[in-house]
Amino acid sequence: MSALTDDTLPLTPRAMRDEMIVFAAMAVLLGLVPLTGIYPFFVMQALCFALLACAFNLLIGYGGLLSFGHAMFLGTAGYCTAHALKVWGLSPELGILVGVAGAAALSVVTGFISIRRQGIYFSMITLALSQLLYFIYLQAPFTHGEDGIQGIPQGYLFGIFNLARPTVLYYVVLAGFLGGFLLIYRTINSPFGEVLKAIRENEPRAISLGYKTDQYKLLAFILSGTLAGFAGSLKVFVAQNASLTDVHWTMSGEIVLMTLVGGLGTIFGPVVGAFVIIAMQQYLAGFGQWVTVIQGVIFVACVLTFRRGVIGEIAHYLRRSL
C-alpha cells in the first residue's frame, strides 16, 4: 500500500534554503497586494482558507490522517469569535482568543474519539462528528440557526489597528496567516514532525520503536484543529458573519479539495490550492450549480492523473522539496 505522499525528499540544508526562499517570495508578493488593484476581500478570504488548508495538510500530509470534518473547527471558532465580539463586546484580540480556545477544546474532544479508529474509518468518524455539530448549531439558540450571526463589529485590534479599514485588516490577516504558516513549518521540521512522518509511513514500526503513536496523532490533531480554528476566527473579521455553511460537511470537502489540488504533504501546496479554488468560486459564480460539477471533475482528475497536485508535480519535476 503506497503512502499518500510517497516521494517527499529528506530535509537537507538545500531543501530548507529552497523553502525559505519560496516563503520570502510568497510573503513579499502577498505584502504587495494592497498596492495592486486586486480585490483585497478576495485575497483575505483566500488567505483564511490557505491557513485552514495548511492546518488540514499538517494532519493528512504528515500524519496520514484524512479528516473529513475539518469544517467543524472553522465553524466553531467562527461562532465563538462572532459571539464574543457581538454579544459580549470583547475586543478583537480577545475574540480571536475565545475562538481559538473553542476550537482547541473541540479538537481535544473530537481527537480523543476519532483517533481510536484508523484509515477510512477515521475519515468517516470526523465526518460524522462534524455533522453532529452541524445539527447542534442548527438548533442552538446562540447561533441563530439558518440566519447565522451577522453584522459583527470589527473593532480595534489591541486598541490601535482599525480593522474596519480594508488595508489594515488585510495586513492583520496576512500576519495571522504567515504566523500560522511558520508555526506549521516549524512543527513539520521538528523532532515531533519527524515522528509524525514515521507514523505515516509505517505505524506498527513506530510503535515497535517505542513511540506512543496515539499520543502523537492526538497532539497533531489538536494542533491542526486549533490552527484551523484560528483561520475561522480571522475569517469572521473578513466576512463579518458566522453561518452554518462553515460547519456543513461540504465545506470539509472543499478543504480536502484545496489541499489535493495544491499537493498533499507539500508545504506550499495548500496555499496554492486554496487560492485556485477560491478564485474559481469567485469567477465561476455565474455558472451556479455547475461550480459543484467542476469541483467534482477536479477531484476526479486529481485522484486519477494528478495525485501530487500542482506544487507536488513541480517539486517532483525540479527534484526539490517545496
Name residue, grid cell 523553502: 19
Indicate the SS3 state at residue 162.
strand
Distance CA 310, CA 203 (A): 28
Q: Which is nearer to another protein, 49 or 134 (CB)?
A: 134
Single out the residue of 188, 196, 260, 322 in contact with another protein (rule: CB under 8 A): 260
Q: Does 299 bind another protein (CB under 8 A)?
A: yes
Chain Cα centroid distance, residue 140 = 25
Single out the residue of 52, 85, 125, 195 in contact with another protein (rule: CB under 8 A): 125
Q: Does 296 bind another protein (CB under 8 A)?
A: yes
- Residues near 215 by Cβ (< 8 Å), separated by ≥ 6? none
Distance CA 75, CA 130 (A): 10
Please report how close the Cβ of residue 120 comes to another protein at its closest, in angstroms: 5
Query: Is there a contact between 104 and 228 (Cβ–Cβ < 8 Å)?
Result: no
Q: Does 284 bind another protein (CB under 8 A)?
A: no
Options 28-36, 87-95, 108-116, 266-274: segment touching another protein (CB under 8 A): 108-116
* Strand 161-162 to 241-242 pairing: unpaired
Distance CA 211, CA 191 (A): 12
Query: Is there a contact between 65 and 220 (Cβ–Cβ < 8 Å)?
Result: yes
Q: Does 66 bind another protein (CB under 8 A)?
A: yes
Going by the DSSP 8-state scheme, the letter that residue 33 receives in this structure is G
Q: Does 142 bind another protein (CB under 8 A)?
A: no
Q: Which is nearer to another protein, 57 or 123 (CB)?
A: 123
Q: Does 285 bind another protein (CB under 8 A)?
A: no
CA dihedral 224, 227, 232, 238 (to 10 degrees): -140
User: What is the C-alpha end-to-end distance of the chain, expressed in Å?
Assistant: 24
Chain Cα centroid distance, residue 18 = 23
Q: Does 280 bind another protein (CB under 8 A)?
A: no
- Residues near 176 by Cβ (< 8 Å), separated by ≥ 6? 47, 51, 230, 234
Q: Does 127 bind another protein (CB under 8 A)?
A: yes
Q: Does 107 bind another protein (CB under 8 A)?
A: no
Query: Is there a contact between 264 and 5 (Cβ–Cβ < 8 Å)?
Result: yes
Q: Does 129 bind another protein (CB under 8 A)?
A: yes
Q: Does 273 bind another protein (CB under 8 A)?
A: no
CA dihedral 285, 50, 257, 138 (to 10 degrees): -70
Single out the residue of 136, 164, 175, 279 in contact with another protein (rule: CB under 8 A): 136
Measured from the Cβ of residue 184, the count of other Cβ atoms closer than 10 Å reads 23
Residue 227 corresponds to which cell in the numbers above? 490552527
Say how many residues touch another protein, by CB under 8 A.
Answer: 47
Single out the residue of 49, 295, 309, 310 in contact with another protein (rule: CB under 8 A): 295
Please report how close the Cβ of residue 87 comes to another protein at its closest, in angstroms: 23
Q: Does 135 bind another protein (CB under 8 A)?
A: yes
Options 7-15, 92-100, 216-224, 284-292: segment touching another protein (CB under 8 A): 284-292
Options 92-100, 132-140, 190-198, 277-285: segment touching another protein (CB under 8 A): 132-140
Q: Does 307 bind another protein (CB under 8 A)?
A: yes
Name residue, grid cell 497536485: 309
Site string for another protein, 216-255 (x = CB under 8 A): ---------------------------------x---x--
Tell me which residues touch another protein (CB under 8 A). Answer: 1-4, 60, 66, 68, 113-114, 116-121, 123-125, 127-129, 131-132, 135-136, 138-139, 249, 253, 256, 260, 288-293, 295-300, 302-304, 307
